[in-house]
Structure 1
Amino acid sequence: MGRGRGVVGGACQDGGVSNSAFTVTPLVGREEEFARLTGVLERARGGEARAVLVAGDAGVGKTRLLDEVSARAARDGVTVLTGHCVDLGDVGLPYLPFTEVLGALAADERFEPVLAARPALGRLLGCGADSARDMGGRLWLFEDVAGLLTDLAQTAPLLIVLEDLHWADQSSRDLLRFLLSRGVLQRPAGGAPGSRLALLASYRADDLHRRHPLRPLLAELVRLPSVERLELRPMADAEVTRLVRVLQDDQQGPLPEATVRRIVERAEGNAFYAQELLAATDPGAGGVPDALADVLLIRFEQVSDTTQQVLRTAAVAGRRVEHGLLREAAGLPEEALETALREAVERRLLVSADDDTYSFRHALAREAVYADLLPGERARLHGAFARLLAGRGRSAETAAERAHHYRESHDLPEALTASLEAADHAKRLGAPAEELRHLEAALDLWVSVPAEARPEGEGGDRITLMLRASAAAAHAGESHRAVSLARAALAGVGRDADSELAARVRYTLAGNLLDVDSLTAAYAYSSEALALIPADPPSPTWVWAAATHALTARQVGKAEIAQRVAQQALKAAEALDLTDARADLLVSLAYFDGRRSPEGRARLLEARELARGSGNAPVELRALFHLAIGAFEAGALEECLPWLDEGLDRARGAGLLSSPYPLEMRYLRLMALYSVGRWDDCVRAAEQDTGVLPAAGAFTVGPALFVRLARGDASVVERAEELLRGPFEWMSVLVAGIVLTDAAAQRGDAEGSVARMRSLVETLKDDSGTLPDVTVRLAALALSAVADAAVASRASGDEPAARRWTDTAAELVGLARQSAGRGVNGRRQGPEGLAWLARAEAECIRAQRGLDPEAWAAAVNAFDYGDPYEQARARVPFAEALLAADRREEAAAEAKAARETAARLGATPLLERVDALLRRARLADPAPAGSSGPARLTAREQDVLRLLALGRSNRQIGEELFITGKTASVHVSNILAKLGAASRTEAVAIAYREGLITGERTG
């Protein structure tokens, strides 16, 4: 077949010329554009010739999209011809992309007759750069090219792909104008079908400066009725994240979430940049990979020397620079600066804004220019910017910039002072992550700055600075970093240190250790802190040390010590009028009263008001969290949500959304939405959270994983496994445990489900060996698979296996009873825990002696507190138990109720299970009550039914309707259920019989 890169007759050819550094990657993030182009192709196959001009920045995914469309067209029997324009400067080869197209045809002997009939084409293929002049006129050539393409389109549908039009020579642009305005897109007179041809042409929008020769042609072509423009905009962060996840399958193991977020942030929607950053040795590190830097610097090197000087200066300033500051730093006359800026803007290297500032069009371009500077040049420019900013006044708003420029120009005393000013400013703005960054910069500078040059006040005490940085890290969600900073402070406290400072260091470390679930160590340090200072006379330091000790003592199971210390500290706080400490201690005591009791609730409400009045946002958030979780544990899910909304709003205003309690609130809010059946809201909220969560907050989207698992998404298993990687995080283990135990149970893996459950319960035990409350849920989930295995073993006559599984069931239900009966503070769990216990009891009975209607009725009723999905799951075995007891009407009612819930939630596996039961037991037509005839099916289901009648598979249905195969499967299940059919064939037969579809049957 030839060596052209075109696709002829559906066969892809290797070789040819490609300008793209972007290797073909999965079509992620461009599904909508793909659908639009394949739609254009379909119209062309019907005789409506069309052209699309595909615009986008370099690396945004134009080639990737066109390759996918070409491959799809070739599979469908379309003749695909591809030509490329090449950057040859001012000396371009005429008609290069069309010569490549014709070369692919000439290499195939099937096309020799049509080429021979058009001599102008033969001469073009055989001659050099001057061929266009001695052919007897360009019109002859143009008409022969148009005639050739028209003839090819009569034989088979034809797709022409032209890439990189921004590099097209004048002759190629003229030929393209002719083809689109007077040639292949023209419809014949009299309404006859037109040419079965589509032309897709791509160009780089960021290369089209104001005087680029392609601009006039594009303006002319888009006015033609058969030509449209498709702009590929930068991909959304969620789509880039998905692309990185797909591409990383070729890497050595999955990337940490923080690294993925860093790649997405730096790529700014550009697929090629994302791929190059991913391919770097250390994807999470700074700097620009060499291959990417080479690409980015090409356009920088094409501008004048003065413009390059301005760009270098702007790169040192940062992503954005104000005009006057740039002028002073560059040292250029105004006229020369404006000329250089105009060129940079026209070349789309800089972007101007209304506030008289300029910014690099892409941050990676700035990084590449900055990295290309010589060390001395870089330090000199940083020093210039630092002095210019300082000369305008040492305002808090410029402190971060001044700190950066002073540090890079090696003026370390000024850098230290400015870093502390920037930290103060970030704290006032409620930005703990930025505060932490500036404090850590100050700590790094500390040892390099002479003592006499260090600032006085709080910044003059390095231990206090470490404690402040530790608090900022905790508020920013960097719990492990908070521990490291507190440990560093402890190491820096000498033997002769002030006892109050030594106590502060220890109780700060203790509180941080609680956040990373290092409970025993936390208790040890809080004990040391309390022993360092006397309780009488009481002091604020002792009160906070006691408040921390009450927390750590409770976590290690020393409830009596915790309650006694908290009560003693509350009296001291009242005497000293420490309002925020009083609030914190009231929350601790409410826990002992029981958060659901009137006394506990009253303490929490008082604590919220005291903390708010004192301005201590972290303590206020703690009170709001306990109010919310108290409502959740009581089964008052709708009451729980307003407390969570209030807490998250307060955290947002205080800049504390990434701190521990707001992270717990995010999880609890999604859990409440999941539990009440607002699954779409749950998934949507999780998607919004994903991009802003710290690494330690990955667990918060757990309830969305529960939704996806219930909807049949097998990929959640890998997502859950990811939660178990990295540093231990208690809530991440809990979420992963629920998903992995349930997933194993649903696929019938009893051994795997039990192993997961045991391992995770063991991991989640506290230091005293107390079972976590989630044990009852995990046990109930594992018991469903154990009961299945026991029933199957008895049915097959394998009595030893049946006895082994019944023994396992007895063990698991014992754990469930122990967990649910103990609950919080030795009390029984709330409605949720007791509902799971009821299900565990019913599953255990099923494993031992079969279905028991009363046990399953108890489980169904127990979930009535507000978890429709788990109630529906319990209704299925309840219906089976009723059938076994010959109570068919009751069984039908339970099964229909379960089906209604499963259909509403989109819980496909449960829906299929219920429908199988309805068909197997012949209980009733599972179609919704009151529906009849075609009205039973939605418009989308009617489309799916039509394709079912044509014998299409789920994958083929998805491709034709531009939906996923999984979504198509859901629609097929709904159709079978509504028609009461046991198979796809039966559904089609019923549909023809009832007139839902007409025409001849296939197969």
Structure 2
Amino acid sequence: MNASRTESAGFFVGRDDEMRLAEASLAKAAAGRGHVVLIAGSAGIGKTRLAQRLAEKAIAGGFAAHWARCPEEPGAPAYWPWRQLFRSHLDSTGADLLDAIGEADRSVIGAAIPEVLAHRTATGRSPALLDTAQARFELFDAITRFWQHAARRQPVFLIFDDLHCADPTSVRLLAFFAGQLADAPLMLVATYRDTDVFADHPLNDAFADLVRTPGFRRLTLRGLDRQESGQFFCAASGAVADASLVEALHDRTEGNPLFLQETVRLLIEHRDRTGSRAHEQQVLTTIPEGVRNVIAKRVRHLEEGARRVLATAACIGRTFDTELLIWLVADEELVLTSLEAALRARLIEPTKQEGELTFSHVLIRDMLYDDLLAARRQRLHGAIGEWLEAPERGNRASRLAQLAHHFAQAGSHGDAAKALAYARDAAAEAARSFAYEEASRLYRLALSLQREHAADDVALRCDLLLTLGRAEADVGAVEPSRTAFLEAAELARRHGLGDKFERASIGFEQANFRSARSGEASVSLLVDAIKAHERKDAARAELLACLCRAYVYCNLPDEAQRTWRACVTLARELGDPRSLYLALTAITSAGYWPWLLHERLAAGNEAWSIAQASSELEWTLADLMAYRLCDLLRIGDIAALRAALNADRRVSIDLNSLYHQAVVLCFETLLSINEGAFDRAEQQAEGALAIGQRVARDVASTAYGMQMFCIRREQGRLGEVLPAMQLMVRNSPTASLWRPGIALIYAELDMRDAARKEFDALRIAQAQAVPENADALTRACFAAEVCAYLDDAASAATLYCMLHPYAGATLLLDIGGPCLGAADRLLGMLSAVQKHWDAAQKHFIAAMDIDACTGARVWLAHDRHEYAAMLHARGLGDDRPLARSLLDAALADAKSFGMATLVARIETLAARIEACSAELAYPCGLTRREVEVLRLLAIGRNNREIGRVLEISPNTVANHIRSILEKTYTANRTEAAAFANHAGLLDA
């Protein structure tokens, strides 16, 4: 986690680099080499909070910290910030230091700093001498010596807040002071608003002196990044923001902490008022009053004419063309003069494009835009649109989105048909260049214009919805895609638009399966579409392919396989490569039907060959590969899996498909976990989450949770996630999905009663014979491990039957994981619970072979440990050498990978095996402790003496002797001693 809360709230997010540099200066100051740090930035950027954080570090390191705040209001006396520093120091330490510096310095300082005279009555030269250069030098020198003396008593940390508001003399004194700190344990920190430092500001002269000063450093703060903005939201609101809200929040505030704070406050008020998180994106379009005040204050420095020019520029956009602005205002001199003033005020800044400027913050532009009269805005947008489409501007292709925006915003002053046409053309152009997010936005704009200006054109609306659904699907936004296709399907059905109904049904099914939803709604649409489509052509083949997959997601294997075979037959008859590709891949998503594993993989491999031979099918490659990757992992073909991953990565990047980029990272995470590279796996999991949350938040979060569960489990850190899991089970409407996970956590943490309670709630006896989907398979696998922990033989029999179809394969529960290694490990554990020793041994040997071949060394270590545990439980003496060998190999890997939990279990099991070996090496079943007692007894020691030697009580010795007599069939101590001699126990 990074470090800042809001300016006032006491938390700290971000600023890692700045804090590192500032702390380095602080360390040098503590060592006696004084440092000066200036913290620059715009209003609300977090300058004061960073200074506060640094002051906390300084105080913790033994510094005395003193603050001076420079007031923005006029009328403050000269040296006011310095007077505050003296007042703070004298109030906290008293007047002792004044005695140490001498009466001459007290008199000089007192002439400018009355607080000194308030502590000591000084006599000496007249304050009139302060008007001379010599007198001012002596004053600056005396003040410097005062703080040097103070720092020698205790390191000093001085903070000047809002230095841009300080009087010029105070600034000059600061520059002089900074140059005398080389040998003092003193650090001076000053914050200032660089947007308020113009050419004639006194700070500019001070900067020229400061940059030549040893130990000087300037830190310029920018906005927080997206991740830090999300952390800020969590810290400020106490809630977790989804990726889309964080992105919108960051885009709106650009990471300015003050703007973030005010905007988050608006969101919290909205949630409290409505009890809902709906319409939050709309709330983000509001400029908070506190932010508006900050911006208005900066804008008020401009002349009225300049403000009008900037408002006109705001209508063009955040970035605007100066030629266009001059054309709109029709007064070139006014425009240029106004822009020069705005540049000096840092309200705008140049871009790399000649003749183009941009507002320094989006909220500056938005506030100026909002303050325009609506009618004026519309007129300006219409005029801007006309300027942009003029023939002399050249090819319009690069300006399509701008034209659509301005004509759409022109209202009654624009051409709605023209706006709609431009929006469609711009969206299509964006989609062609793989800018699917922009395409989606523009199609939504076109839909809005159609609803407002062409509401009766149903065919047009259907086409727009279909293209929107496709754009959302291409970017991986499955839920918006699903919604768009469903609306298009219902509209097309209602108005008899057969071709559009087919396209909508196909698009809906594709979005539906990507969101892992049940397939009933898809089946309903596709069955109707197929009934109406009598031709045996490529369109029918595609409909059948989608119907097959919909049946898979309804868990209807017979219907799915029947439809799949009909689809493949039709595609082969047609001789159409694309149809055959779609037909073959239709069954690949049935990953939880183990009996189809090799048939699925054969179909996937053939489809892969077709795709490789046809570049036209490149866009479909990623759809196949997610499921082909799963099956390659299940059969353990890691070489083919890595080759497929590399190909999928290239395709997903080329197509800008965030969904498939996240899928690739998920698989790489699983492979890293299997290999024991947990640090790398954690980085990959976080990468997959960051991308996946942008398109499928719930799916991405679930996959991340599973992956982190696997990593933390191996690291022995499940206790860290237990509270969150318990809360989720209590509060989540889908708590049943998380129950197996929390039951396994309880088992891992050896919380037997809690594990039993959660395990019983799973109702294993009532489960289907074969898991019906990925969730059911996950429950069965987790339950199997808990069952082995609880030694529940009855449930073990049921779970064994459920999981036996997966024997010989690697258990991959879903695209996002987890991967649990060879299924035979769980089957071996369940067999051992039932004391089916031979079956357990066969399963463990199979598991080790599979996990060794796939490079899953983490699971191989688990296989070896569980196999050794089974051998120990079987209790045959001949098994012990093999058990020791298995544990040695498992321990080596577990230690090298940092598998803390498994290391502890291996060491415990090894100790038990050694204890049993030692006990069985002695005759008559004597234990090691009993042999120790017998040896002492044989040399004539009494119970008290034996107890003293072995550090046990005489009563315990007596108990051991009774056990010895019983086991050796001897009547007394003498006979027991003789037995020990004959048995050779005295020779050891």
Q: TM-score, normalised by structure 1?
A: 0.75
Distance 1:329 1:757 in 2: 73
Partner of 1:986: none
1:847 to 1:295, Cα distance in 2 relative to 1, 3 A = farther
CA shift, 1:583, in A, is 1.2
Distance 2:260 2:762 in 1: 36
**Partner SS, residue 94 of structure 2:** helix
Partner of 2:443: 439
CA shift, 1:221, in A, is 0.9
**Partner SS, residue 586 of structure 2:** helix
Letter in 1 for 2:851: F
Partner of 1:533: 533
Distance 1:65 1:889 in 2: 63
1:293 to 1:904, Cα distance in 2 relative to 1, 3 A = farther
1:726 to 1:685, Cα distance in 2 relative to 1, 3 A = farther
Distance 2:668 2:733 in 1: 23
- On the 8 A contact 1:80/1:160 being kept in 2, the answer is yes
Partner of 1:515: 514
Q: Structure 2 matches for 1:377-456, cutoff 5 A?
A: 377-391=376-390, 392=393, 395-410=396-411, 411=414, 412-450=416-454
User: Where do 5+ consecutive residues of structure 1 fail to align?
Assistant: 1-19, 188-194, 791-804, 924-1003
- On the 8 A contact 2:636/2:809 being kept in 1, the answer is no
Letter in 2 for 1:73: A
Distance 2:162 2:909 in 1: 58
Partner of 2:851: 863
Matched, 1:835 2:822: yes
One of 321, 326, 336 as aligned partner of 1:338: 336
Q: Which moved more, 1:439-448 or 1:103-112?
A: 103-112
- On the 8 A contact 2:810/2:821 being kept in 1, the answer is no
Distance 1:881 1:825 in 2: 24
CA shift, 1:149, in A, is 1.4
Partner of 2:204: 215
Distance 1:640 1:761 in 2: 36
- On the 8 A contact 1:591/1:600 being kept in 2, the answer is no
Letter in 2 for 1:648: R
CA shift, 1:820, in A, is 5.6
Letter in 1 for 2:221: L
Q: Structure 2 matches for 1:164-563, cutoff 5 A?
A: 164-182=162-180, 185-187=181-183, 195-249=184-238, 253-281=239-267, 282=270, 284=281, 285-333=284-332, 335-356=333-354, 357-391=356-390, 392=393, 395-410=396-411, 411=414, 412-450=416-454, 461-493=460-492, 497-516=496-515, 517-534=517-534, 537-563=535-561
One of 5, 8, 12 as aligned partner of 1:27: 12
Larger radius of gyration: 2
CA-to-partner distance for each residue in 1:488-544, whole Å, 9 max, x for gaps?
22332365614444444444434433333122222222222212222xx42443232
One of 130, 136, 139 as aligned partner of 1:138: 136
Partner of 1:985: none
Distance 1:892 1:132 in 2: 92
Partner of 1:162: 160
CA shift, 1:180, in A, is 1.2
1:431 to 1:47, Cα distance in 2 relative to 1, 3 A = closer
Partner of 1:746: 748
1:781 to 1:318, Cα distance in 2 relative to 1, 3 A = same
Aligned length: 857
1:644 to 1:95, Cα distance in 2 relative to 1, 3 A = same
Percent identity (aligned): 22
Q: Which moved more, 1:880-889 or 1:426-435?
A: 880-889
CA shift, 1:173, in A, is 0.8
1:656 to 1:542, Cα distance in 2 relative to 1, 3 A = same
**Partner SS, residue 641 of structure 2:** helix
Distance 1:394 1:720 in 2: 58
Distance 1:760 1:331 in 2: 76
**Partner SS, residue 107 of structure 1:** helix
- On the 8 A contact 1:882/1:891 being kept in 2, the answer is yes
Distance 1:551 1:427 in 2: 27
- On the 8 A contact 1:476/1:656 being kept in 2, the answer is yes
Partner of 1:74: 59
1:227 to 1:381, Cα distance in 2 relative to 1, 3 A = same
Partner of 2:22: 37
Letter in 1 for 2:748: Q
**Partner SS, residue 67 of structure 2:** strand
Q: Structure 2 matches for 1:401-800, cutoff 5 A?
A: 401-410=402-411, 411=414, 412-450=416-454, 461-493=460-492, 497-516=496-515, 517-534=517-534, 537-574=535-572, 576=574, 578-588=576-586, 597=598, 600-601=601-602, 604-610=605-611, 613=614, 615-658=616-659, 663-693=662-692, 694-697=694-697, 698-699=700-701, 701-702=704-705, 704-705=707-708, 706-708=710-712, 710-711=714-715, 712=717, 740=742, 742-750=744-752, 770-772=771-773, 778-782=779-783, 784=785, 788=789
Q: Structure 2 matches for 1:765-914, cutoff 5 A?
A: 770-772=771-773, 778-782=779-783, 784=785, 788=789, 807=794, 812-813=799-800, 815-817=802-804, 835-839=822-826, 841-842=828-829, 845=832, 863-864=851-852, 865-875=854-864, 897-898=889-890, 900-907=892-899, 910=902
Partner of 1:102: 86
- On the 8 A contact 1:765/1:771 being kept in 2, the answer is no
One of 33, 54, 61 as aligned partner of 2:46: 61
CA shift, 1:81, in A, is 1.0
1:760 to 1:30, Cα distance in 2 relative to 1, 3 A = farther
Q: Which moved more, 1:515-524 or 1:565-574?
A: 565-574
CA-to-partner distance for each residue in 1:591-640, whole Å, 9 max, x for gaps?
78988648943653445534862624442222333432221111223431
Distance 2:732 2:444 in 1: 22
**How much is the aligned-residue C-alpha RMSD, in angstroms?**
4.4
Letter in 2 for 1:58: A
Partner of 1:937: none
Letter in 2 for 1:257: A
- On the 8 A contact 1:159/1:197 being kept in 2, the answer is yes
- On the 8 A contact 2:809/2:822 being kept in 1, the answer is no
1:393 to 1:594, Cα distance in 2 relative to 1, 3 A = farther
Distance 2:726 2:362 in 1: 34
Letter in 2 for 1:871: L
Q: Which moved more, 1:709-718 or 1:339-348?
A: 709-718
1:87 to 1:369, Cα distance in 2 relative to 1, 3 A = same
**Partner SS, residue 351 of structure 1:** strand
Distance 1:381 1:761 in 2: 68
Distance 1:260 1:644 in 2: 30
CA-to-partner distance for each residue in 1:60-80, whole Å, 9 max, x for gaps?
332222212222332343211
CA shift, 1:587, in A, is 1.8
CA shift, 1:671, in A, is 2.0
CA shift, 1:352, in A, is 0.9
Distance 1:832 1:318 in 2: 50
Letter in 2 for 1:635: G
1:425 to 1:604, Cα distance in 2 relative to 1, 3 A = same
Distance 2:494 2:235 in 1: 54
**Partner SS, residue 160 of structure 1:** strand
Q: Which moved more, 1:688-697 or 1:814-823?
A: 814-823
User: Where do 5+ consecutive residues of structure 2 fail to align?
Assistant: 117-125, 271-279, 916-988
- On the 8 A contact 1:248/1:255 being kept in 2, the answer is no
